């Protein structure tokens, strides 16, 4: 059941990383360098930079599942073209802003222009500054635990759970920076710090790191994006009622991360803990074994503390904050890719590019939490250039906005606590159900039955 919930219901597929360290960012090649193949008018706006984009961190070729199904069948192809035309017409209504802007159209700029607009110092990784954030968060985590254990009052525990769960999420974000290599330029330092941070919150560092890069390499691709991947209409219609209920009804989608780590995902066998999983290359097995051993060591430590302190105390000190952390992770990652007031495109085939996929991500404002979780809500620039340290993301975003223009969606300003995003999440889960089987630029569509069911359950 967990396998079904994860792979087909939750839409979460593992995030493959194909490297050991940071994603290297090559200098933009000359626009005159290398042969150029003819491009269609639809792709003319972004094709000049696509080759450079692929060299950054995108796969060198794409294979569309829909294309494979339709290959050699002219009748089906004609139907697909008709459906595509209808989808594009609908996209003009759904995705536009009333001024003729189409978010699914190729942008008139490339990655080189965005990169050039970002100040050079934003690319500098300061390991001392990065470590200062680690020290800050670890001190807060230990202080909260010590204070809660000393007071040991049911008036305090709920406040502790909310605060400590949020701090666990902050630890994850710093480990996430280690995985991208934006923490420092020292791969060994990134690995050591990443293991300590992620193992402490039961995340297998290398297993997650290796899978996460695939999400960045394929963001916005219907078949290949592996974080909250959209369901095709055909797959959606094949799901039973309970599976749809789990996928689109709170709080179940916000508890998906442990299943994502353990369970099988579409097209892959194994888990983030298994070195023989399809998620990993043979030369990555040692890394995965190291991370799994670190994870097991943490489990052993927790078991020992449970024996010494008692299961109820460990439930209050660690288990409940861990659940809050999981909810934060699923909440934030979902909202990075869903819930904008205008529908955002997803791509297939030749319409997808690293840049166009990155522009489907969303920035979010979390009020006071922005500083706590290291500005992870500043997500568009992070997706395009994951090498930028988190403490430069806000400045880099401001510098890039004039280039991005309407392709950048300004986040709604938050109150001190981001309760407004709960309504955004509920609205998205109630309407963003599946994408069409046909077409290379598609938008989320709504199943009225699932929508009505969700509303009645509320």
Per-residue pLDDT of the chain (458 residues; tens, 9 = 90+): 444 444 434 444 433 444 434 434 444 333 333 333 444 434 444 443 333 333 333 333 333 333 333 333 343 344 344 444 444 444 444 555 556 789 999 999 999 999 999 999 999 999 999 999 999 999 999 999 999 999 999 999 999 999 999 999 999 999 999 999 999 999 999 999 999 999 999 999 999 998 888 889 999 999 888 788 899 999 999 989 888 988 899 999 999 999 889 875 544 566 899 898 888 889 999 999 999 999 999 999 999 999 999 999 999 999 999 999 999 999 999 999 999 988 899 999 999 999 999 999 999 999 999 999 999 999 999 999 999 999 999 999 999 999 999 999 999 999 999 999 999 999 999 999 999 999 999 999 999 887 655 555 55
**Is residue 340 reached through a cis peptide bond, with omega within 30 degrees of 0 on the bond before it?**
no
For 313, residues 6+ apart whose C-beta sits below 8 A from its C-beta are 149
CA distance 112 to 354: 12
pLDDT at position 66, please? 35
Contact partners, residue 40, CB within 8 Å, separation at least 6: 350
How far apart CA 214 and CA 228 sit, in angstroms, is 13
Q: Are 390 and 374 in contact (CB under 8 A)?
A: yes
Kindly report the CA angle at 107 between 104 and 109, in degrees rounded to 5? 165
Q: How much is the pLDDT for 94?
A: 52
pLDDT at 131: 98
Q: How much is the pLDDT for 90?
A: 43
Residues 6+ apart with CB under 8 A from 129: 389, 391
How many CA atoms does the CB half-sphere of 378 hold within 13 Å?
A: 25
Specify whether the CB–CB gap between 169 and 371 falls below 8 A. no
For 292-319, give the secondary structure using H, E and C.
HHHHHHHHHHHHHHHHHHCHHHHHHHHH
pLDDT, position 116:
97
Place of tokens 């990443």: 194
CA distance 323 to 336: 20
417, 402 in Cβ contact below 8 A?
no
Lookup: tokens for 123:
């690319």
- Determine the Cα–Cα distance for residues 47 and 54; give it in Å rounded to an integer: 11
Whose tokens are 């360290």? That residue is: 21
Whether the Cβ atoms of residue 261 and residue 329 lie closer than 8 Å to each other: no
Write the Ramachandran bin of 72: left for phi over 0, alpha for psi from -120 to 50, otherwise beta. left
């Amino acid at each position: 059941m967990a396998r079904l919930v994860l792979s087909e219901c939750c839409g979460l597929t593992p995030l493959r990383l194909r490297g050991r360290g940071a994603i290297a960012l090559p200098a933009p090649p000359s626009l005159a360098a290398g042969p150029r193949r003819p491009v269609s008018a639809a792709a003319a706006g972004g094709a000049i930079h696509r080759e450079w984009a692929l060299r950054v961190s995108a796969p060198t070729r794409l294979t569309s599942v829909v294309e494979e199904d339709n290959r050699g069948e002219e009748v089906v192809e004609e139907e697909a073209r008709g459906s595509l035309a209808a989808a594009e017409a609908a996209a003009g209504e759904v995705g536009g802003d009333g001024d003729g802007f189409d978010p699914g159209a190729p942008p008139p700029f490339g990655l080189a222009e965005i990169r050039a607009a970002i100040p050079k110092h934003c690319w500098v990784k300061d390991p001392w500054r990065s470590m200062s954030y680690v020290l800050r968060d670890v001190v807060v985590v230990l202080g909260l635990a010590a204070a809660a254990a000393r007071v040991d009052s049911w008036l305090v525990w709920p406040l502790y759970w909310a605060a400590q769960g949020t701090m666990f999420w902050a630890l994850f974000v710093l480990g996430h920076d280690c995985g991208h290599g934006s923490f420092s330029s020292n791969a060994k330092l990134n690995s050591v710090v990443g293991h300590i941070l992620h193992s402490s919150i039961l995340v297998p560092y290398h297993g997650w790191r290796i899978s996460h890069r695939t999400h960045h390499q394929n963001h916005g691709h219907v078949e290949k994006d592996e974080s909250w991947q959209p369901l095709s209409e055909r797959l959606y219609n094949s799901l039973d009622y309970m599976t749809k209920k789990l996928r689109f009804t709170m709080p179940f989608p916000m508890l998906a991360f442990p299943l994502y780590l353990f369970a099988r995902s579409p097209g892959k066998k194994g888990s983030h803990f298994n070195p023989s999983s399809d998620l990993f290359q043979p030369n990555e097995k040692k890394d995965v074994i190291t991370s799994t051993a670190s994870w097991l060591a943490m489990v052993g430590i927790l078991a020992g503390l449970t024996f010494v302190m008692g299961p109820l105390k460990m439930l209050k000190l660690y288990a409940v904050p861990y659940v809050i952390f999981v909810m934060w992770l699923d909440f934030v990652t979902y909202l990075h890719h869903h819930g904008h007031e205008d529908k955002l495109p997803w791509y297939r085939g030749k319409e997808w590019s690293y840049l166009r996929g990155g522009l489907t991500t969303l920035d979010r404002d979390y009020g006071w939490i922005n500083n706590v979780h290291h500005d992870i809500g500043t997500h568009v620039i992070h997706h395009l250039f994951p090498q930028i340290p988190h403490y430069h993301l806000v400045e880099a975003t401001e510098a890039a906005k004039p280039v991005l223009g309407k392709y950048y969606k300004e986040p709604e300003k938050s109150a001190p606590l981001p309760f407004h995003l709960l309504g955004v999440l509920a609205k998205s889960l109630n309407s963003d159900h599946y994408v069409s089987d046909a077409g290379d630029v598609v938008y989320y569509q709504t199943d009225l039955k699932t929508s009505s069911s969700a509303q009645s359950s509320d």
